[in-house]
Structure 1
Amino acid sequence: MSLFRSAATISSFTLFSRITGLARDVLIASTFGAGPLTDAFWVAFRIPNLLRRLFAEGAFSQAFVPILGQARTKNSPQQVHILLDRVALLLTVALMTVTLLGILGAPWVVTAMASGLRGASRQAEFQAATWMTRLMFPYIICMSLVAFASAVLNTWSRFAVPAFTPVLLNFSMIGACLFLTRYADVPIYALAIGVMIGGLAQLVVQWIALARLGLLPRYSFRVREAWRDPTVKRIMRQMLPAILGVSVAQVSLLINTNIATWLAPGSVTWLSFADRLMEFPTALLGVALGTVLLPSLSAAHARQDHQSYSALLDWGLRLMLLLGLPAAVGMALLSNGLVATLFNYGAFNAHDVLQTRLAVMAYSVGLVGLLSIKILAPGFYAKQDIRTPVKIAIFVLILTQVFNVIFVPYFAHAGLALSIGLGASVNALCLLRVLRQRKIYTPSAGWGRFALRVIPALAALAAVLLAANHAIDWVALAPHAGRRLLWLAGVLLAGGLAYFAALFLCGFRPSDFTRRGMGS
């Protein structure tokens, strides 16, 4: 399967996941609004998500995928299976230990994550966050083992199942919101139950996929033997700097969540819903391209094919900009329509729309930076160089807090989003500069012509969106949800047609989206 088709497959399933995720959040917004207990849920949900990204999707995948790809190339299938057994065993033992500690220390964990909830007037929120944290902490076991399965499946070029399974979390949370809230003492606790059901469902589906490949881990009690395996030790050594690198981003999220709990009630929820909208382009494009590129880059590195390595990065960057720039323009100029159409129901009022819209606009400033990191960072990971991105991430963490000091007093929660966006942009520029300095990436010819083709298309898109904002009062259409949805679909379709028609008039053709076309 070509890289473009692989990325398209992942994007298609991810689109379905994000649509169901939006449906989930629309239901949560209309049922619970943006009140204190909703903030408590998002705080509690972020804690296992933070650790999942720390142990699984971030550090573990970055260290595991390149070494697994190399082992698959050089070792026998039996040796590879033994490696999978040992890695799965150690990962499970570590996760069970962390989960037990997290459940016991939930009040301290919540305090570290959201110290603003410790105030005397917010004890109900603090207790709710603590209870939901304890209930959802085992979620990191499920999702870290899901990340293990995803890494194996992606290395074997089985991209569809890992891209599809997040849908199961959304379905379980929707089901919990619809059917379990009436049975919970505190209705929002049903969402925490839904999270755990979704985590278990994802784990079952992915491990069935591993079993079909004959790669299901075989557990034993030989922890010491697994720890002594030289390849496992190598993965652990790679994970240490990777954990540091990923933890930098998670520390930034921790700080921002903590700051948000000191702002107006609802700030955590406004940021969470804005982040949900930003996940559409970052997951559909950034994650899809990054997932496809890492195994391909690892293979090119194993062959010592420097030209293909650089060409892969070049293709990823061009495709990212071709689709990421209009996404950023759309998020900035159509933020009011997107937020109002998706969330302005029931308890989620016009004030919540305004506050969430401000966060979306602030996030859009750094969208291209966030997407670029997904392309550029694998350029280091595939060479098993995790330290360089870590050093850059530490610098960006410090810089982001400087941005917070500057912007939060003026823009409140939107200042937090703006700081993240600007930090991501600086991160991407630093990664690009180092890749070029080390001659890992050399831009191919035609970048100037590429820019001259894209800029008029972006102008055409912006003109359509500005005209729509002038003509439509999105919040006033709240009593007419169906009509508002049709208007939004029409505006998105018109903007998309204007952008791609302008690209066509400027010389782009469908074949230009492929790797060969991008390099021409």
Structure 2
Amino acid sequence: MSDHGRRIARNAAVVAGATLVSRLLGFVRDIIVAFALGAGLFADAFFVAFRIPNLLRRLFGEGSLTMAFIPIYSRLMEEEGEEAAQAMARSAAIWLAVVLIGIILAVELLARPLTMAIAPGFLDNLEQFAVTVDLVRICFPYVVLICGVALCMGILNSRNHFLAPALAPVALNVSLIGAALFGYFMGYNVAYCMAYGVLVGGAAQWLLQQPFLARTGFSWRGPWSWRNPGVARMGMLMLPTVFGAAVYQLNILLGTLLASFLPVGSVSYLYYADRLVQFPLGVFGIAISTAALPSLSRLAARGEMAEYDEALSASLGLTLFISLPAAAGLIGLAGPVIGLLFERGAFTPEAVTATANALVAYSAGLPFIALSRPLVAGFYALEDTRTPVKIAVLCLAANIGLGVLLMQFLAHVGLALAVSASSLLNFGLLYVLLRRRRGASLLPAGAALRILLLSVLIGGGAFLSAGWRPWWVLLIPVWVVVYMFLSLAMGLKEARLFADMFRSRVRRKLAGRK
């Protein structure tokens, strides 16, 4: 594996480690929320209300701004130096604040029609609709805070710092856990307490980034301009990326819209299942693409395209090596995992079964979602933001069409299957077009086949062990070790990289003790 691939792997390991802490705490949060809220009226209302500011976070945050910001910031650092890059970042922050504050004011005034558009099925239950409108108004200002965090992430990642942005969700999780427990034990409405907890968590995430920005030498004080040319270039890149992010989030929101026509609890089943899929996706899949984008952007800015191809190939190989067995394990252990994490309080055995079925359907698409992220980063590093958008529009149509069809027969599980199918289509189109553009094989078929065979083996073993309570939990690390051992025996370079990284860390720790 090339030096660029090893650098991406090291940075991804930092992101993955920090994200692992955040996601584990996120599971604690979900357990507490499931206990306090269950899967009923107030839970559905809160999840819909919280999803709306997350839409804007994706549109103006890490879904578009960060992806457009990093290539421009990296190019300015290479071509014009530190001062020009910092001035561009300050100017971008001013523009972001102005746009988002305007959107917040509009949403506060139009919360009712917005909620009606997002979850029209809630109109059948006027209490649920009214609660959702209230929670939208409380939660929505979170968007300006979390998009500020996304801008900080772009600055820090471009300056080779990955830890603080990956740790930021810890602050949100702590805030939501505290809000849920406070509401439950003090006898207040838990959904409303958590809505205010969202705002506290957003402020805490932004404040967490500031000491790390200062350590890297970045300062918010200094020159900025309404007409900064770097911001103008970033804006041109953002136009299609905002649309592309809108398409991606529209997938989620239309899924929520369709689920609102299904029996009460369907939105929550999909939410909890998606949270579990997001665990390996966030810890490893997103970590690799996050670490890859700055490296790919620098290589593209320098014109080092052979190294660019090697770095992208390494990113895809690492992603597949982790995401495929993760998906197999989730499918094999869907029921026991959901039961262990959520079956308590208001979360009934029926809710466990419904959520586990959704988890199996979502997990089938996990590898394709994960593999698409480095490919999109590859396009963005080349400052091509249009191609991923065109593909996303096609996949949106496929997702909605399949969702409407499959929900007639499989209810909420059909919606999850539609997401997986459209994710496969998205990956396939991105890969074919980028491979054709670069004229290079980005993912060796032999390695992919070996990883697939090993993943099927591990998934089958996990499925057979699912009934061995409580031993199935203890066997999870055994399956991980078996997978790594067999991968090394089959000569997979991704396994060798992980083994080398583990050995080097052990040596450093032993040397430190001496």
Could you list the runs of 5+ residues in structure 1 that have no partner in the other structure?
473-483
Identity %: 35
Does 2:469 match 1:464?
Answer: no
Distance 1:368 1:450 in 2: 15
- Secondary structure, counterpart of 2:105 in structure 1: helix
Tell me the C-alpha RMSD between the 2 structures. 2.0
> Per-residue displacement from partner, 1:401-452 (whole Å, max 9, x unpaired)?
12112211111111111111111110010000001111264337xx354245
Contact 1:184 1:190 in 2 (8 A): no
Equivalent in the alignment of 1:350: 349
Q: How many pairs does the alignment contain?
A: 496
Query: Which letter maps to 1:72?
Result: M
Measure how far apart 1:508 and its partner are: 4.1
Distance 2:166 2:407 in 1: 35
1:74 corresponds, among 49, 70, 79, to 79
Measure how far apart 1:118 and its partner are: 1.2
Distance 1:401 1:456 in 2: 32
- Secondary structure, counterpart of 1:347 in structure 2: coil
Distance 2:476 2:105 in 1: 47
Please identify, of 71-80 and 315-324, the stretch whose mean Cα deviation from structure 2 is larger: 71-80
Does 2:217 match 1:214?
Answer: yes
Query: Which letter maps to 2:474?
Result: G
Measure how far apart 1:355 and its partner are: 0.6
- Secondary structure, counterpart of 2:61 in structure 1: helix
> Per-residue displacement from partner, 1:480-515 (whole Å, max 9, x unpaired)?
xxxx4xx34313123222322322333347763369
Does 2:476 match 1:492?
Answer: yes
User: Could you state the TM-score of these two structures normalised by the residue count of structure 2?
Assistant: 0.92
Query: Which letter maps to 2:192?
Result: Y
- Secondary structure, counterpart of 2:442 in structure 1: coil
Equivalent in the alignment of 1:103: 108
Distance 2:473 2:107 in 1: 44
Q: 1:435-446 counterparts in 2 under 5 A?
A: 435-439=434-438, 441-443=440-442
Equivalent in the alignment of 1:401: 400
Distance 1:106 1:183 in 2: 28
Distance 1:428 1:329 in 2: 18
Query: Which letter maps to 2:51?
Result: R
Query: Which letter maps to 1:74?
Result: E
Distance 1:302 1:219 in 2: 26
Equivalent in the alignment of 2:240: 241
Equivalent in the alignment of 2:412: 413
Query: Which letter maps to 1:371?
Result: A
Equivalent in the alignment of 2:361: 362
Give the 3 Å change call, closer, same or farther, for CA 488–342 of structure 1 in structure 2.
Answer: farther
Could you list the runs of 5+ residues in structure 2 that have no partner in the other structure?
1-5, 502-514
1:145 corresponds, among 145, 148, 151, to 148
Distance 2:108 2:131 in 1: 14
2:175 corresponds, among 169, 172, 180, to 172
Give the 3 Å change call, closer, same or farther, for CA 516–65 of structure 1 in structure 2.
Answer: farther
Distance 1:316 1:442 in 2: 13
Distance 1:63 1:448 in 2: 31
Contact 2:87 2:222 in 1 (8 A): no
Contact 1:313 1:375 in 2 (8 A): yes
User: Could you state the TM-score of these two structures normalised by the residue count of structure 1?
Assistant: 0.91
Give the 3 Å change call, closer, same or farther, for CA 25–235 of structure 1 in structure 2.
Answer: same
1:8 corresponds, among 3, 6, 13, to 13
Query: Which letter maps to 1:463?
Result: G
> Per-residue displacement from partner, 1:51-82 (whole Å, max 9, x unpaired)?
11111111111211100100111113222222
Please identify, of 314-323 and 204-213, the stretch whose mean Cα deviation from structure 2 is larger: 204-213
Query: Which letter maps to 1:67?
Result: I
Measure how far apart 1:457 and its partner are: 2.4
Does 2:497 match 1:513?
Answer: yes
Contact 2:115 2:133 in 1 (8 A): yes
Distance 2:38 2:439 in 1: 48
Query: Which letter maps to 1:53?
Result: R
Distance 2:499 2:292 in 1: 12
Contact 1:313 1:441 in 2 (8 A): no
Equivalent in the alignment of 1:40: 45
Contact 1:344 1:350 in 2 (8 A): yes
Contact 1:47 1:133 in 2 (8 A): yes
Query: Which letter maps to 2:455?
Result: L
Contact 2:324 2:452 in 1 (8 A): no
Give the 3 Å change call, closer, same or farther, for CA 470–516 of structure 1 in structure 2.
Answer: closer
Give the 3 Å change call, closer, same or farther, for CA 133–440 of structure 1 in structure 2.
Answer: farther
Measure how far apart 1:247 and its partner are: 0.5
Distance 2:468 2:229 in 1: 65
Query: Which letter maps to 1:502?
Result: L
Distance 1:152 1:448 in 2: 36
Give the 3 Å change call, closer, same or farther, for CA 391–204 of structure 1 in structure 2.
Answer: same
Distance 1:95 1:354 in 2: 40
Query: Which letter maps to 1:205?
Result: L
Give the 3 Å change call, closer, same or farther, for CA 44–149 of structure 1 in structure 2.
Answer: same
1:161 corresponds, among 144, 161, 164, to 164
Contact 2:168 2:208 in 1 (8 A): yes
Does 2:27 match 1:30?
Answer: no
- Secondary structure, counterpart of 2:221 in structure 1: coil
Q: 1:371-386 counterparts in 2 under 5 A?
A: 371-386=370-385
Distance 1:234 1:452 in 2: 41
Equivalent in the alignment of 2:66: 61
Equivalent in the alignment of 2:505: none
Distance 2:498 2:466 in 1: 34
Please identify, of 109-118 and 152-161, the stretch whose mean Cα deviation from structure 2 is larger: 109-118
Contact 1:389 1:431 in 2 (8 A): yes
Measure how far apart 1:3 and its partner are: 1.9
Contact 1:88 1:217 in 2 (8 A): no
Measure how far apart 1:344 and its partner are: 0.6
Give the 3 Å change call, closer, same or farther, for CA 419–42 of structure 1 in structure 2.
Answer: same
Give the 3 Å change call, closer, same or farther, for CA 123–150 of structure 1 in structure 2.
Answer: same
Equivalent in the alignment of 1:501: 485
Distance 2:455 2:95 in 1: 49
Give the 3 Å change call, closer, same or farther, for CA 105–459 of structure 1 in structure 2.
Answer: closer
Distance 1:153 1:412 in 2: 43
Equivalent in the alignment of 2:205: 202
